[in-house]
Amino acid sequence: MDFLILAQFLLAGLSAGAVYALIALGFGVVHNATGIVNFAQGDFLVIGAFVAYTLLVSWGMPYWVGFLGAVLVSSLVGLFLERGILSRARSKEVLLLVFITVGASIFLRGLIKEIWGKRPLILPPVEQGSEITLGPFRMDPQYLWIIGVAVLAFALLHFFFRYTMWGKAMRAVAADREAAALMGIPVPWVVAGSFALAGALGGLAGVLVGPVWPLSFESGVHIGLKGFAAAVLGGYGSFGGALLGGFLLGLLEGIGAYLVSSYKNIIAYGILLLVLLVRPQGLLGRETEERL
């Protein structure tokens, strides 16, 4: 019986891990294009989830519309953050740009509160009311949806970075901005595209997790921090690192929640600190940072 409960926690941990990995990838994409940490990444997730809520619950649209709408709107928010705000900054110093995203995050939270109110919202699940039972083991199918869709997204992204022109351009900009520009790659558009992609990843994470975690206008901060921690744990800016860091952090949390539920955050961040002390570049990061 105990084992079954542990399995439940592990499944919940894995699905949380998939969400963290999606956010960590969003952090990584932006970092590779610009070198900054985008602290509004978590707010993209909340925006995605709430847009889906409006489409699904308030307007009664089918699920795929909610899905596409969420991804589209949050990627537009990402695009606007770069084109409308960050690209106008007088100084391109990393520290300042990072704190402009902090300002953007406060702004977005205020906006979300204005539009959707202070109450936590919960999305309807993809499949209504069906609970999967395997003998005595019961689970919410939404967990499988989260993991499945996230893995599909990782596969598509991998394909995107390997084989498409845009993906290759993003990698080229990450490797060497000047050389990429000299080769005729429109660097500003690639940077803007990276923010749109980060927004889309956030929105996707939002729709997926919305049915399991009640989200409110402030939720973006703490979920975003977990994603940031996952990115650092795996090695900042590395594709494999984001996946590894995300799933590892999710599992750690799941196990922590099983052992002492109120200390799960302390355990997760404590282990992160220890890893950083032993491997200052993260698990998969190299001394000269490996990038997507």
Positions touching another protein (CB under 8 A) are 31, 37, 85, 88-91, 93-96, 98-100, 102-111, 113-114, 225, 228-229, 232, 236, 262-263, 265-266, 269-270, 272-273, 276-277, 280-282
Q: How far is CA 288 from CA 111, 228, 237, 291, in A?
A: 39, 20, 11, 9
Q: Which is nearer to another protein, 165 or 273 (CB)?
A: 273
* Max CA distance (Å), the chain: 63
Tell me the C-alpha distance between 31 and 242, whole Å. Answer: 12
Name the residue nearer to another protein (CB basis): 20 or 67: 20
Smallest separation (angstroms) from another protein to the CB of 126: 32
Closer to another protein by CB, 132 or 259: give it.
259
Classify the phi-psi angles of 38: left when phi > 0, otherwise alpha if psi is within -120 to 50, otherwise beta.
beta
Asked whether the beta carbons of 38 and 30 are under 8 A apart, the reply is yes
Closest contact distance (angstroms) between CB of 259 and another protein is: 14
Nearer to another protein, 13 or 282 (CB): 282
Closer to another protein by CB, 66 or 241: give it.
241
Give the Cα separation of 70 and 143 in Å (integer). Answer: 19
Nearer residue to another protein within complex by CB, 211 or 246:
246
Beta carbons within 8 Å of 135's beta carbon, 6+ residues apart: none
Q: Report in angstroms how near the CB of residue 278 gets to another protein at its nearest.
A: 10
Find the shortest distance in angstroms from Cβ 266 to another protein: 5
Q: Please, which residue, 92 or 162, has the CB nearer to another protein?
A: 92
Q: How far apart are alpha carbons 56 and 124 in whole angstroms?
A: 8
**Closest of 30, 38, 42, 89 to residue 213, by C-alpha:** 42
131: left (phi > 0), else alpha (psi -120 to 50), else beta? beta
Q: Cβ of residue 63: shortest distance to another protein, in angstroms?
A: 31
Q: Smallest gap, in angstroms, from Cβ of residue 77 to another protein? A: 14
Q: Please, what is the minimum distance in Å from the beta carbon of residue 230 to another protein?
A: 10
Shortest CB 271 distance to another protein, Å: 10
Nearer to another protein, 98 or 144 (CB): 98
